Chains A and B, each alone.
Chain A
Amino acid sequence: MQYRAIVQAGMLAGSTAESGQMQLINGVQFHRLYTGIGTGLDFYMYRGIPLFADVRYDVLKKKGTLFAYADGGIHFPWVKNQPDESIQKFYNGIYTDAGIGYRFHASNKTGLFVSAGYSYKQVKQRVTSLWFTPWPIEPVQQYEFRNYYLNRISIKLGWMF
């Protein structure tokens, strides 16, 4: 069993936008299985911080090998530039990413890799609007909820060490 870290960055392409991502994962390698905890930044539509568990498995025992990976966790919104924080609230949502990759062998402990997969995040937003009542009674607050179910292709270039 060996401690290993992964830094990776790449792009997210969906039907609404193309955007970037970067992640740092820390975990342990046990034979061909790697498990870790990761976090990073996801800039697709609404910026957020995913916190996830990462599992990846080397298909071959070779030094350069195909691998499969799967991530699952929570997406914490970190939205900026909202006109009025008091009337908009964002909630945490699900975050997942799964795909395949290929790792080039650089040395015994390090390796450059590329990966492609499917990534999903959910952002939930509450918007407060006012139900105007005759003056001078205070307007009644009404809420509406917006759910963003965001499906993306995730392509990453990373370094495992």
Chain B
Amino acid sequence: MKSHVKALTLIFAVALLFQSCVKDRCTQTFKVYRPILKAKQEVRNNIKTGAARALKNPGKLTLMGNYIFLNELEKGIHIIDNTNPSQPRNLYFIEIPGNVDIAVRGTILYADLYDELVAIDISNPAQVQLKSTTLRAFPERNFGNGFATDTSMFIIDWIAKDTTVTLNCAGNNAIPEMDLAIRNSGGLSSFANAAGAPVQTGINGSMARFAIVNDYMYTVSNTSLHVFDLNNSDRPLRINTVNIGWGIETIYPFKNNLFIGSQTGMFIYGLNNPATPHAKGTFTHAFACDPVVADDTYAYVTLRNGTACRNASLNQLDVIDVQDLNRPFLIKSYNMTNPHGLAKDGNLLFICDGRDGLKIMDATLPYSMKQLNHFTGIETYDVIAWNNNAIVVSKDALVQYDYSNPQNIKERSRLTIEK
């Protein structure tokens, strides 16, 4: 009995002795992003033709004649000579920090530079010239990644640094504030309009937020439709803002109408008075991300889920009858994997189905479409289909397809994206 007591005393003495010695240690390792700032005037002065850069994180695109203007997300614009779609040449790069959207009319390219709208003369792509800057054109974009700068600076890049901090283990789920603060193939002059002739406009992808119809440019923010007068093409003038709703994402012009994709539905705005777009019809759908293209009879809307799309569960293509623009109605839905941008040329409908590649449908009978071809192994984002050539932005490359024979659509080239 005595030995039992001794042993137990020893055991619990050990426990008591060491209890004050043990201490939990909890750490958190994350990247701290520090913005690299540059004076705004210096950034504007630097908007000129620079050497070609590798494609790294491409976004939206515009096709104007033989040139592809491809956005490099928040960095600027690649100028790609596409005279021979089988051998596109990445020629130049225009540095425009914060740039996401682009549109081209005649010899002027319009682009966002954070909250500013810049008009750039691209008549000679080898020597582009900044013509004007519209300040506060996009007030909702006066910051980058949640980090507001002062009024004299732009964020031109970010430096990422791995940082490890010690956490209070007792508050184990508390996330320390991410301290962001610490954290020449010729020109386009052929597009200059002859007196009285309509000015040619670039073809945008369906993910675009800029659309040009005649002498006006329309842009969408998360809640509004902005109207810019381009009569003086060098100096766009914002003349109107129309509140649309919430979750506005994309804009697609067709004839005298604008088809606007939002997270809650598709809005149709008429342009009888181009300076004052007026609401026509609305097609409402469940929460999802939603680019749209249209023709005289039907609108094609892709709905997808994803982190930016409220994690909706929908992944489908909706075909909507828009013969009566005031009363659009759904005629059929097709299941998709994770559809993004789309394009229509003639009876062919091209759908970027995210990680499921590019799908090409015969849309002769929109209520009974048949899949003609399916290119897998690429993660697709947006597409322009024009003149028997489909230009597809994917995660790995800018890929082009020859669809002159719809029964035998062939890949003709790819510009690889640097990883």
Binding site for B on A (CB under 8 A): 13-17, 45, 64, 66, 99-102, 104, 114-118, 127, 129-139, 141-153, 155
Instruction: Return the 4 tightest CB-CB contacts between A and B, nearest first.
Output: A144-B30, A116-B15, A102-B7, A151-B22
Check A148–B4 contact: CB distance below 8 A: no
Check B26–A151 contact: CB distance below 8 A: no
Q: Is B365 an interface residue (CB 8 A)?
A: no
Q: Chain A residues with Cβ under 8 A from B19's Cβ?
A: 13, 153
Check A139–B308 contact: CB distance below 8 A: yes
Q: Is B265 an interface residue (CB 8 A)?
A: no
Chain B 140-159 interface residues, beta-carbon cutoff 8 Å to A: 141, 145-146
Q: Chain B residues with Cβ under 8 A from A147's Cβ?
A: 26-29
Check B308–A138 contact: CB distance below 8 A: yes
Q: Which stretch from B164-172, B186-194, B267-275, B402-410 is at the chain A interface? A: B164-172
Check B23–A15 contact: CB distance below 8 A: yes
Question: Please, which residue of chain A has its CB at the minimum distance from the CB of B3?
Answer: A64
6 contacting pairs across A/B (C-beta < 8 A)? A14-B24, A102-B4, A141-B307, A144-B30, A153-B15, A153-B18
Counting contact residues on chain B (CB < 8 A from A), the size range is 35 or more
Q: Is the interface of A mostly helix, strand, loop or mixed?
A: strand
Q: Is B100 an interface residue (CB 8 A)?
A: yes
- Measured in the bound complex, the distance between the Cα atoms of B207 and A145 in whole Å is 34
Check A145–B172 contact: CB distance below 8 A: no
- Measured in the bound complex, the distance between the Cα atoms of B26 and A71 in whole Å is 23
Q: Is B59 an interface residue (CB 8 A)?
A: yes
Check B24–A118 contact: CB distance below 8 A: no
Check A100–B306 contact: CB distance below 8 A: no
Check A148–B7 contact: CB distance below 8 A: no
Q: Chain A residues with Cβ under 8 A from B316's Cβ?
A: none
The distance from the CB of A140 to the nearest CB of chain B, in whole angstroms, is: 9
Q: Chain B residues with Cβ under 8 A from A101's Cβ?
A: 11
Partner of A100, one of B10, B169, B207, B250: B10
- Measured in the bound complex, the distance between the Cα atoms of B8 and A152 in whole Å is 20
Contact A16/B24 with A133-B145, A148-B172 known, Cβ cut-off 8 Å: yes
- Measured in the bound complex, the distance between the Cα atoms of B23 and A11 in whole Å is 16
- Measured in the bound complex, the distance between the Cα atoms of B21 and A14 in whole Å is 9
Contact A145/B28 with A116-B15, A133-B73 known, Cβ cut-off 8 Å: yes
Check B29–A144 contact: CB distance below 8 A: yes
The distance from the CB of A113 to the nearest CB of chain B, in whole angstroms, is: 10
Q: Chain A residues with Cβ under 8 A from B419's Cβ?
A: none
- Measured in the bound complex, the distance between the Cα atoms of B18 and A13 in whole Å is 10
- Measured in the bound complex, the distance between the Cα atoms of B15 and A96 in whole Å is 16
Q: Chain A residues with Cβ under 8 A from B12's Cβ?
A: 116, 155
Check B11–A114 contact: CB distance below 8 A: yes
